[in-house]
Structure 1
Amino acid sequence: MAKTADVIKMGKDVKMVDIRFIDMPGTWQHFTIPVRRLDEELFEEGIPFDGSSIRGFQEIHESDMLLMPDPDTAFIDPIADIPTLVITCDVYDPITLQPYERDPRYVARKAEAYLKQTGIADTVFFGPEAEFFIFDNVRYASSTNESYYHIDSDEGWWNSGRADRQNFGGQISPKRGYFPVPPTDTLQNVRSEIVMALEAAGIPMEIHHHEVATAGQTELGMRFDTLTRMADHLLVYKYIAKNVARKNGKTVTFMPKPLFGDNGSGMHVHSSLWKGDTNVF
Structure 2
Amino acid sequence: MAATHTDSGSPCMVSVEAGSYRVSRPQSARDVIDLIGKHDIVIVDLKFTDLPGQWQHFSITLPEVHEELFDAGIGFDGSSIRGFQEIHESDMLLRPDPATAFVDPICETPTLSLICDVVDPVLHQPYSRDPRYVAKKAETYLRQTGIATTCYFGPELEFFIFDSIRFGQDPHSGYYFVESAEGEWNTGRDEGAYGGGNLGYKQRYKEGYFPVPPHDTLQEIRSEIVLTLQQAGVRVEVHHHEVATAGQNEIDMRFSTLTRMADNVMIYKYVCKNVARRHGKVATFMPKPLFADNASGMHCHQSLWNDERNLFYDANGWALTSDLCRWYIGGLLHHAPALMAFCAPTTNSYKRLVPGYEAPVNLAMSQRNRSAAARIPMYSDSPNARRVEFRCPDPSANAYLAFAAMLMAGLDGIENRIDPGDPLDRNIYDLPPEEASGIRQVPGSLEAALDALETDYAFLRKGDVFTDDVIQTWIDYKRRHEIEPIRLRPHPWEFYLYFDV
TM superposition score normalised by structure 1? 0.98
Q: Determine whether 1:11 maps to 2:36.
A: yes
CA distance, structure 2, for counterparts of residue 164 and residue 126 of structure 1: 44
Residue in structure 1 matched with residue 27 of structure 2 by the alignment: 2
Residue in structure 1 matched with residue 359 of structure 2 by the alignment: none
Residue in structure 2 matched with residue 182 of structure 1 by the alignment: 213
Q: Determine whether 1:267 maps to 2:298.
A: yes
CA distance, structure 1, for counterparts of residue 54 and residue 191 of structure 2: 38
Residue in structure 2 matched with residue 256 of structure 1 by the alignment: 287
Structure 1 segments of 4+ aligned residues over 4 angstroms from their partners: none
CA distance, structure 2, for counterparts of residue 274 and residue 141 of structure 1: 48
1:5 shift after superposition: 1.1
Higher helix residue share: 2
Q: Tell me, which stretches of 5 or more residues in structure 1 are unaligned?
A: none
1:38 shift after superposition: 1.6
In the alignment, which of 53, 70, 76 is matched to residue 103 of structure 2?
76
Q: Secondary structure at the match of 2:147?
A: coil
Matched residue type, 1:94: P
Residue in structure 2 matched with residue 104 of structure 1 by the alignment: 131
Matched residue type, 2:260: R
1:164 shift after superposition: 4.2
CA distance, structure 2, for counterparts of residue 206 and residue 36 of structure 1: 38
Residue in structure 2 matched with residue 145 of structure 1 by the alignment: 172
1:92 shift after superposition: 0.8
Q: Secondary structure at the match of 2:126?
A: coil
Question: Structure 1, residues 17-41: CA drift from partner, whole Å, max 9, x if none?
Answer: 1111111111111001112322112
Matched residue type, 1:8: I
Residue in structure 2 matched with residue 61 of structure 1 by the alignment: 88
CA distance, structure 2, for counterparts of residue 133 and residue 271 of structure 1: 25
Question: Structure 1, residues 16-66: CA drift from partner, whole Å, max 9, x if none?
Answer: 111111111111110011123221121121101111111111111111111
Question: Structure 1, residues 182-205: CA drift from partner, whole Å, max 9, x if none?
Answer: 111000000000000000000011
Higher strand residue share: 1
Q: Percent identity?
A: 61
TM superposition score normalised by structure 2? 0.55
RMSD after superposition: 1.0
Matched residue type, 1:73: T
CA distance, structure 1, for counterparts of residue 275 and residue 63 of structure 2: 28
CA distance, structure 2, for counterparts of residue 276 and residue 44 of structure 1: 30
In the alignment, which of 309, 313, 318 is matched to residue 278 of structure 1?
309
CA distance, structure 1, for counterparts of residue 51 and residue 166 of structure 2: 28
Contact 1:11 1:38 in 2 (8 A): no
Q: Determine whether 1:41 maps to 2:77.
A: no
Q: Secondary structure at the match of 2:189?
A: coil
CA distance, structure 1, for counterparts of residue 155 and residue 113 of structure 2: 23
Q: Secondary structure at the match of 2:30?
A: helix
CA distance, structure 2, for counterparts of residue 205 and residue 117 of structure 1: 31
Q: Tell me, which stretches of 5 or more residues in structure 2 are unaligned?
A: 1-25, 313-501
Q: Which has the higher contact order (CA 8 A, sep 6+)?
A: 1
In the alignment, which of 246, 253, 261 is matched to residue 277 of structure 2?
246
CA distance, structure 2, for counterparts of residue 60 and residue 256 of structure 1: 33
Matched residue type, 2:43: M
Matched residue type, 1:160: T
Matched residue type, 1:69: P
